[in-house]
Amino acid sequence: MGGMGGMVADRIEREVYIQAPVDRVWRVLTTPEHIRVWYAFEGCEIDPRPGGTLRFRWDEQGEFHGRVEKAVPDALFRFRLASEPDRALGAEPGDSTLVEFALSAEGPGTRLRLTESGIQELAVPDAAKAKHAEYAAATWSTALEELAALAAASHN
């Protein structure tokens, strides 16, 4: 008896074309030193293997824990990300969303698609789900622009 869950989107999708080859985009996407530039400004720890843990840190929001679900170099990076800061990721649904980056070569560059899904399943009121969706949409849009600029500029 969940009803329709109001007008909250269950997923956020963003896409960006990056003027850099897939292997470079992959490095920028999955390496802590790069992630700190385009996303987790105050810190990032990541074990990019499936089952590996990750942590993204922002001074004003706290530290968000995650768990890598799939990592296929130059193709796919998928992880669960806790919806609340400073809490370990449990096994139960409702405490995290699923974030997926899919990369594909397109001409000399890379098409990067981001999907964050599972917002409807979060164990919070609809207003909080809507807020999460709104905040995530804005955050990812900015992050992908930064990532694209960084990948296009970096040659290491």
Identify the sign of the CA torsion 33, 38, 43, 44. negative
Which positions of the chain have pLDDT values less than 70?
1-6, 91, 155-156
Cα–Cα distance measured from residue 156 to residue 154, given in angstroms and rounded to the nearest whole number: 6
Query: pLDDT by residue (tens digit) across 45-71?
Result: 999 888 999 999 999 999 999 999 999
Q: What is the dihedral of CA 85, 51, 71, 111, to 10 degrees?
A: -20
96, 80 in Cβ contact below 8 A?
Answer: yes
Query: pLDDT by residue (tens digit) across 25-35?
Result: 999 999 999 99
Residue 59's pLDDT is what?
94
**At 115, phi and psi to the nearest 5?**
-130, 130
136, 116 in Cβ contact below 8 A?
Answer: yes
Taking alpha carbons only, the member of 56, 19, 53 closest to residue 35 is 56
Residue 2's pLDDT is what?
46
Residue 104's pLDDT is what?
98
Residue 1's pLDDT is what?
41
Q: How many CB atoms neighbour CB 101 within 10 A? A: 21
Taking alpha carbons only, the member of 116, 114, 112, 115 closest to residue 149 is 112
Residue 110's pLDDT is what?
98
Residue 28, classified by CB atoms within 10 Å of its CB into exposed (0-12), middle (13-18) or buried (19+), is: buried
Cα–Cα distance measured from residue 97 to residue 91, given in angstroms and rounded to the nearest whole number: 12
